[in-house]
Each structure stands twice: as C-alpha cells, then as structure tokens.
Structure 1
Amino acid sequence: MLLGPIATAADVLVVTDSHHPVQAPAGARVIELDQAARIEFELAAHLPTDPRQAAALVRQRLHAGGEALQRRIGHAYQGVADAWGLGIARIPAVVVDRRYVVYGEPDVPRAIARIDAYRGTQP
C-alpha cells in the first residue's frame, strides 16, 4: 500500500489548480488554488450591465446558495491561505506532514512514495 505507516492519507495535502489535474488517493486533502475564482465567475455569470441590478442579482445568488455556497467559498479561500502559509512555490505540490514536499508530480501516490523513500534514508 502506497500510503503505509509513514504517510497516512490524513497527512497528505495536494495543492494544484484546475489546469494541473492530479491523481489523489481518497482521503488526501486537495486544494485547487483557482477554486475561489471559479466560484466568483459562477456568481458573476450573465449579470446585467446596470451595477445596482448586478449587485442585487449577486446578493440573490449568494442567498440562494445558502450555507453550502458559503462553505464552498470559505474552504476555497482557506485552501489558498493554507498553501500560502506552507510556502508552496509551484503546482502541483504534494505535502506530507506539512514538512515534506514534492513539486511537479501529478501522481500523488508516486510523490508520496518518493517522500517515504527519502524519509527512510534519514536518521
């Protein structure tokens, strides 16, 4: 099993965007850095040119989306903050234990195996 005792799924964070798809195992947290922008695009789709009407329509969409939409927005921005806080420099990035990172590998189990191999050589 690729997610053995060294790297469990709860320890794995994947940072990417919609243009860099990844193959993440179940249980890995995946942050798509452009998720917030995609939600904003949904809210702004087909707005009238009148600013007051547009604002009213966005408020209506936010209200209609309810708590589920608020959670989506909150999770999207929290993911960006988490990636920034970790100092993620490129995507995709696979982070284990908030300490080890592999950049550029879309196959998450392969990235985890590389991290595990490295950790196995350390005292």
Structure 2
Amino acid sequence: MATRAAASEVWVVTDSHHPVLGQADRHLILDAAAVLEAELADNLPTDPERASAIVQQRLKLGGTDLQRRIGTAYQGIADAWSLGVTKIPAIVVDRRYVVYGETDVARAVARIDQYRRTQP
C-alpha cells in the first residue's frame, strides 16, 4: 500500500465501541483495562474479604498472560495520554500527526501524507 509506506509508524487509538479498519503498528484500545477489571469483578460476593480472595485467585489463575494483558492495557492508556490524544478514534502517524474521527487507516495516512507534501 503506497500510503502506508510513507509513514514510518502508525498507531490507532480507539476503544471497543469505535472499530478502526486497516493495519497499524500499534492498536491502543483505551477501554481494555476496564474490560479486564469487569472480568475480574464479575459475580463477586458483597463480603469484601471473600471478594478480595476471589479476585486474588482469579489473578493467580490468569498467570503471566493476564499480567501481560493488564500491563498492555494500562500502557496503552499512558501512551495515548503521552501523545496528547484528546478524542477517539485517532490515527497517529510518526507520533507527530493525528487524524481524529477517521475509521480507515489508509485514508488517514493519505490525508497526513497530503498535508506533509504541502508543508515545507
């Protein structure tokens, strides 16, 4: 794809309610942490001690895969914040250019490439 070749790095920042089509180097799904937290909290008893024990057990059973998923989810939030993303969906090119509201990576990259060609 010619438009993709002009961008050295493409990130998609979105959530599970705003799907974005196309290939990107990174997909930051901002509600992934909330989804994981909801899974861990699903059907917990009202007793705080029992609930805590169940969550600890779920974390242990999830092992390193769950730890990785949690780390990736929160890292995505931190990365989006550090890029200054203010709306979703957002397609970020080279950590410098952003197109908000576009759901097609190729179209966003083409718009950024067009802008870059007109700027000295």
TM norm. shorter chain > 0.5: yes
Matches within 5 A, 1:63-78: 63-78=60-75
Structure 1: gaps spanning 5 or more residues: none
What is the CA deviation profile of residues 69-114 of structure 1, one whole-angstrom value per residue up to 9, with x for unaligned ones?
0010001001100101111011000000100000000111110111
Structure 1 CA distance for aligned equivalents of residues 22 and 60 of structure 2: 33
Matches within 5 A, 1:80-91: 80-91=77-88
Partner of residue 91, structure 2? 94
Moved more, 37-46 or 16-25: 16-25
Is residue 60 from structure 1 mapped to residue 57 from structure 2 by the alignment? Answer: yes
Amino acid at match of 2:76: G
Partner of residue 10, structure 2? 12
1:122 CA drift (Å): 2.0
Where 2:11 maps in the other structure, the secondary structure is strand
1:16 CA drift (Å): 0.4
Amino acid at match of 2:4: L
Q: May I ask how many residue pairs the two structures share in their alignment? A: 119
Structure 2 CA distance for aligned equivalents of residues 87 and 105 of structure 1: 17
Where 1:113 maps in the other structure, the secondary structure is helix
Q: TM-score under structure 2 normalisation?
A: 0.95
Identity %: 65
Structure 2 CA distance for aligned equivalents of residues 42 and 12 of structure 1: 30
Where 2:44 maps in the other structure, the secondary structure is coil
Structure 2: gaps spanning 5 or more residues: none
Structure 1 CA distance for aligned equivalents of residues 21 and 26 of structure 2: 12
Is residue 46 from structure 1 mapped to residue 43 from structure 2 by the alignment? Answer: yes
Q: TM-score under structure 1 normalisation?
A: 0.92
Amino acid at match of 1:3: R
Q: Pick from 110, 116, 120: which aligns with 2:117?
A: 120
